[in-house]
Every structure is written in structure tokens, then in C-alpha cells.
Amino acid sequence: MATNNITRYLDAHKIEYTAFETPAEKLGAEATAAFLGVPLEVIFKTIVVKRERGKPILAVISGADEVDLKALAASLGEKKVHLPTEKEAEALTGLQAGGISPLALLNKGFQVVIDASAQNHPEIHISGGQRGLNIRLAPGDLAHLSGARFAHIGRNNSPRP
């Protein structure tokens, strides 16, 4: 079983979780759900979002959704937020896309907002802070550890007919 700073941190804080090894290449949410054999709704991805001033935001949303930037900005009292490029997101976090995780960025000053839909599930899957590692844990534990708030920030991203 893969261990890294995140799994050691979770162990040290006696947080219940399950770690899953996944292929080391960057998998999208759909591919991760298929690989793990779980519904797409329980796979949560971390999207880096820039604000006008200050540290970026980590928006944690269902793999089936996209970030609703207006709703995210409103939930934080920001006028405007925008998505950086993948390369910018990697530079801002120091992590590879596909391995960006709020648990890998604890105490780094990022504000974390988790889509409220996470509360509909006893456990959700998030990145383990590196490609090839997926962590399943309770959304309340993730919120507690990361100082996150829950808000309706996801917008359904299903393909249009």
C-alpha cells in the first residue's frame, strides 16, 4: 500500500480512510471512477481557482460537475474569481495536475471550499496528493482537516444532447 505525507498525517490524526493505488498517469474523474468501480458522484476533484488578490482557492467538486465560478465567488464574498491554466495551477500549488489535493496543501494558506453535494455521501474519493494515489474518507473529516467550508459551488457538467 502506498504511503506518503498525507497517509502518515491521516494516521497520526486517527482519521479513518482507505488509500487506493491508481495508474500513475493523470486520470480524469471518469477514468478514476471506472478504475475504482465507484459512481462518478463520489469522485471529487480539486480545482485551483485564482482570486483578484491573495492566495488561490481550492474548490473541491464532484467529478460530474464543473466549478460555478459565480457561486464560488459569492460564497467567499469575492467580486470575481477565475481559473488558471493547468501550468499555473501546478506552479501555484507545487503539485502535478491530477495530484492536487487539499490534504497535500494543509497549512499552506489555501482556502478550501467543498461542494455541498459531498455531504450527501458517507465517504468521498479525493487525490492523495500525487498521481497514482486516491484517498476515500468522510467529507466531514476532509472539511475539518482542511478548514474548509461547504457551499453549492458545482454546476452539472453532463454532456448536452
Domain harbouring 110, CATH code: 3.90.960.10
Whether 24 maps to a domain, the answer reads yes
Whether 23 maps to a domain, the answer reads yes
Q: State the sign of the Cα–Cα–Cα–Cα dihedral 85, 26, 94, 153.
A: positive
pLDDT tens for residues 73-132? Answer: 999 999 999 999 999 999 999 998 888 999 999 989 999 999 999 999 999 999 998 888
pLDDT tens for residues 21-56? Answer: 998 888 889 999 999 999 999 999 999 999 988 889
Sheet holding 44-51, edge to edge: 81-82, 44-51, 57-62, 111-115, 149-151
Whether 27 maps to a domain, the answer reads yes
Whether 131 maps to a domain, the answer reads no
Query: What is the enclosing helix (H) or strand (E) of 144?
Result: helix 139-146
* C-beta separation of 47 from 59 below 8 A: yes
Q: pTM for this structure?
A: 0.93
Backbone angles phi, psi at 149, to 5 degrees: -115, 155
| Tally of domains within the chain | 1
End-to-end CA distance of the chain: 41
Residue keyed to cell 453535494 = 117
Backbone angles phi, psi at 104, to 5 degrees: -80, -10
Whether 42 maps to a domain, the answer reads yes
Cell of 150: 461547504
CA-based radius of gyration for the chain: 15
